[in-house]
Amino acid sequence: MLTRNNLSSIYVLDQDEALTFYTEVLGLEVSADMDFGPMRWLTVRVPGDQKEILLERPGAPAHDEATAAQVRDLVTKGAGGGWLAFTTDDVQGAFEKIEAAGAEITQEPMEQPYGTDFAIRDPFGNNIRIGSIKHWG
């Protein structure tokens, strides 16, 4: 049986810009950055966590150029299908730091049935939620 999810992927249009955003704005760390043949394998993670996020450019080996262009267009519109959710012990502090860094805020911190969170978009349109989540049950 499955034991855990160790890798997720989101599409980004520029891996260097993504690396700056995810490490300097969100505070993630680089897990891997290597030439993987037809692509750059660039993953980040929350410090101390094992789960990695692949910052993937649309293109080979997964897509031909026509398909990659369509994916890039969808990502730019915020419709690339990728989104991330992170937890924090200090929602307001995280919000203030991320807002001061110039990230696009799509929802300020607010109480939800599941906890308190806020929403941002990365430089490519991917949706990100950050919050303090109540445990269910």
Q: What is the pLDDT of residues 16-30, one digit of tens each?
A: 999 999 999 999 999
Kindly state the average pLDDT of the residues 32-53: 94
Q: For residue 115, tell me if it sits in a domain.
A: yes
pTM: 0.90
3-state DSSP assignment of residue 7:
strand
pLDDT (average), residues 88-114: 95
- On whether residue 1 sits in a domain, the answer given is no
Quick one: average pLDDT of 102-118? 94
pLDDT-derived band at 129 (thresholds 50, 70, 90) equals very high
Q: Which domain holds residue 18?
A: 7-133
- How many domains, in total, are found in the chain? 1
SS3 125: coil
Tell me what pLDDT residue 81 has. 75
* 65, part of any domain: yes
Q: How far apart are the first and last CA of the chain?
A: 24
CA dihedral (2, 4, 7, 9) in degrees, to 10, reads 80
pLDDT bracket for residue 77 (50, 70, 90): confident
Mean pLDDT of 86-92: 94
Between CA 43 and CA 60 the distance in angstroms is 17
**What pLDDT does 45 receive?**
96
Is residue 2, in this structure, part of any structural domain at all?
no
46-49 long-range Cβ contacts below 8 angstroms, 24+ apart: 46/86
Asked, for residue 91, whether it belongs to a domain, the answer is: yes
Residue 72 is part of a domain; what is its CATH number?
Answer: 3.10.180.10
Number of H helices, E strands in the chain: 3, 8
